[in-house]
């Protein structure tokens, strides 16, 4: 049965890890996958997480099944991070949240449910978008198309193009939006532009699906929720996938959530019953540990503060690395001004390097980046940044 099976290409992001791990050069640097490293080049175990894990281990909880939708305390905490503690949507019971296997798992449960709900709809993702968006919605059976997003000339958002495209789409079209820290470009919309996008979605009857993988990496928890809050006020029904991989540094625990805003509490109950069927026929119910840890941190005033401080620390270090990279490239007298790197938000920089230049960085220097020119600024540190700047400067010559 396998005789005719073709070799699939490596994943454009996680496949870089495989190639990086197989590289024997001691100077190699992995700027591919979106993972935050400390200045020592380590993935941090946050102090707030460590404290919550210690308490959990000491309590030695039994390992029973979770409810299909996951831990109630976790789901409540997720909704409050997204909508704010005093959100009317929450108190009116219009939202449902299920614990999912990371942001990717949340997107997939949402995609599978949307396919049952509206099989003929098309999905629109930003041009460019996170590599897995297209593959994931296509694997759920959708046709996926792009809406204009990035303007290479201004290194900002082609807002007019985006808005005009969305305004031309048929009702029911599913629009995947990056809620903050656009991946891969780091170019976000302004608050006023978000309001306009909400109005277009409303006028056209579009179905927004907000991907929120980096809450806290641009400005802070509430400031980064501006898109979610704008949609919340609109009365629209919409989807949100969220992830704690980055913000809690819990990548391998696969801690995410799917949240859906419905029109009423009664509707929310029916939607939840259907989403649970999607989960039950896929992975049955989520694992316990990661969600329990996040819930414990968010439920404790002290640990929550510690977490927010640690998150702010990550944010500040990324900004320092942006600044340092810009300076180091200027020192190397590259022709182009890299000042734009300072304006990009989140973990990544969309450098403008071509696929050929990225390939040269890999083969000549062992510096790994995504072929689109995306580099993970959060993987730079005081020890590798000169080497990376040398590599970039060399391939730009
Ligand atoms: C990334 O874009 O690098 C991250 O979101 C990790 C992933 O799953 O692709």
Task: Give, for all 397 residues of the chain, the pLDDT tens digit.
Answer: 999 999 999 899 999 999 999 999 999 999 999 999 999 999 999 999 999 999 999 999 999 999 999 999 999 999 999 999 999 999 999 999 999 999 999 999 999 999 999 999 999 999 999 999 999 999 999 999 999 999 999 999 999 999 999 999 999 999 999 999 999 999 999 999 999 999 999 999 999 999 999 999 999 999 999 999 999 999 999 999 999 999 999 999 999 999 999 999 999 999 999 999 999 999 999 999 999 999 999 999 999 999 999 999 999 999 999 999 999 999 999 999 999 999 999 999 999 999 999 999 999 999 999 999 999 999 999 999 999 999 999 999 9
**Spatial separation of the C-alpha atoms in residues 200 and 17, rounded to whole Å:** 39
307 is catalytic: no
For residue 183, give the ligand 1 atom closest to its CA.
2
Per-residue confidence (pLDDT) for residue 77, from 0 to 100: 98
State the span(s) of the chain assigned CATH 3.90.1150.10: 14-45+303-396
Residues in Cβ contact with 238 at an 8 Å cutoff, skipping those fewer than 6 apart? 201, 207, 208, 209, 210, 231, 260, 261
Q: State whether CATH 3.30.930.10 applies to domain 14-45+303-396.
A: no
Q: Which atom of ligand 1 is nearest to the CA of 130?
A: 2
Structural tokens at position 345:
């938000």
State the pLDDT at residue 165. 98
> Is the shortest distance between the CB of 321 and ligand 1 below 6 Å?
no
C-beta atoms surrounding 305 within 10 Å: 12
Catalytic-role residue among 211, 224, 328, 362:
211
C-alpha distances out from residue 274 to 121, 154, 277, 281, 326, Å: 18, 44, 5, 11, 49
Quote the ligand 1 centre to 33 CA distance (angstroms). Answer: 6
Q: For residues 373 and 354, what is the distance between their CA atoms, to the nearest angstrom?
A: 6
76 is catalytic: no
* pTM attached to this predicted model: 0.96
Strands 374-376, 348-350: parallel, antiparallel or unpaired by DSSP? antiparallel
SS3 state at 139: helix
3-state secondary structure of 299: helix
Atom 5 of ligand 1, nearest CA residue: 34
Q: Are 127 and 152 in contact (CB under 8 A)?
A: no
CB 391 within 8 A of CB 351: no
Q: Which of 108, 112, 115, 130 is catalytic?
A: 130
DSSP state of 33: S
One CATH from 1.10.3720.10, 3.40.1390.20, 3.40.640.10, 3.40.50.970 for 65-287: 3.40.640.10
Q: Is residue 163 a contact partner of residue 200, using CB atoms and an 8 Å limit?
A: yes
Residue 231 and residue 210 in contact, taking contact as beta carbons nearer than 8 Å: yes
**Which residues are paired to 374 by β-bridges?**
350
**Nearest atom, ligand 1, residue 11 CA:** 9
Q: Whose CA is nearest to atom 4 of ligand 1?
A: 34
Residues with Cβ within 8 Å of 364's Cβ and at least 6 positions away in sequence, in order, are: 391, 394, 395
Pocket test for ligand 1, best of 20, 125, 130 (most atoms within 8 A of CB): 130
Rounded to the nearest angstrom, the distance between the alpha carbon of 170 and the centre of ligand 1 is 30
Identify the pLDDT of residue 181: 97
| 291 CB within 6 A, ligand 1 | no
3-state DSSP call for residue 162?
Answer: helix
Q: Whose CA is nearest to atom 6 of ligand 1?
A: 34
Output the six-digit token pair for 347: 């973990």
Nearest CA to ligand 1 atom 1: 34
For residue 314, what pLDDT is reported?
Answer: 98
Is 211 a residue of the active site? yes
State the DSSP H helix or E strand holding residue 138, giving kind and residue range, or none if neither.
helix 131-139
Q: Between the CA of residue 278 and those of 10, 97, 108, 109, 271, what are the distances in Å?
A: 28, 14, 10, 7, 11
Atom of ligand 1 nearest to the CA of 370: 3
Asked if 89 and 255 touch (Cβ cutoff 8 Å), the reply is: no
């Amino acid at each position: 049965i396998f005789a005719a099976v073709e070799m699939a290409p490596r994943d454009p992001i996680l496949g870089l890890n495989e190639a990086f791990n197989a590289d024997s050069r001691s100077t190699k640097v992995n700027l591919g996958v979106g993972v935050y490293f400390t200045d020592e080049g380590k993935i941090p175990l946050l102090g707030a997480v460590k404290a919550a894990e210690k308490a959990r281990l000491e309590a030695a909880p039994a390992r029973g099944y979770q409810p299909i939708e996951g831990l109630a305390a976790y789901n409540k905490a997720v909704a409050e991070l997204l909508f704010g503690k005093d959100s009317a949507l929450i108190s009116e019971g219009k939202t449902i949240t299920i614990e999912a296997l990371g942001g990717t798992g949340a997107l997939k449960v949402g995609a599978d449910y949307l396919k049952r709900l509206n099989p003929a709809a098309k999905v629109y993702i930003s041009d460019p978008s996170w590599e897995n968006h297209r593959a994931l919605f296509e694997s759920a059976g959708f046709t996926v198309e792009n809406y204009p997003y990035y303007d290479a000339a201004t290194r900002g958002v082609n807002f007019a193009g985006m808005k005009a495209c969305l305004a031309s789409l048929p009702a029911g079209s599913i629009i995947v939006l990056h809620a903050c820290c656009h991946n891969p470009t780091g170019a976000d919309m302004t608050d006023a532009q978000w309001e306009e996008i909400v109005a277009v979605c409303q006028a056209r009857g579009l179905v927004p699906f907000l991907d929120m993988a980096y809450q806290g990496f641009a400005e802070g928890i509430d400031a980064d929720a501006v898109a979610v809050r704008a949609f919340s006020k609109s009365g629209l029904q919409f989807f949100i996938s969220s992830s704690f991989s980055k913000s809690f540094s819990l990548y391998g625990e696969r801690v995410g959530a799917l949240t859906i805003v419905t029109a009423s509490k009664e509707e929310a109950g029916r939607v939840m019953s259907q989403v649970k069927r999607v989960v039950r026929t896929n992975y049955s119910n989520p694992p316990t540990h990661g969600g329990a840890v996040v819930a414990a941190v968010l439920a404790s005033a002290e640990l929550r503060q510690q977490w927010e401080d640690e998150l702010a620390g990550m944010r500040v270090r990324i900004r320092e690395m942006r600044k340092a990279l810009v300076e180091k490239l200027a020192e190397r007298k590259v022709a182009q001004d890299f000042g734009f790197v300072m304006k990009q938000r989140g973990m990544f920089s969309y450098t403008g390097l071509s696929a050929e230049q990225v390939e040269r960085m890999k083969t000549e220097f062992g510096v790994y980046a995504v072929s689109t020119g995306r580099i993970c600024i959060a993987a730079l540190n005081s020890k590798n940044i000169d080497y990376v700047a040398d590599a970039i400067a060399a391939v730009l010559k």
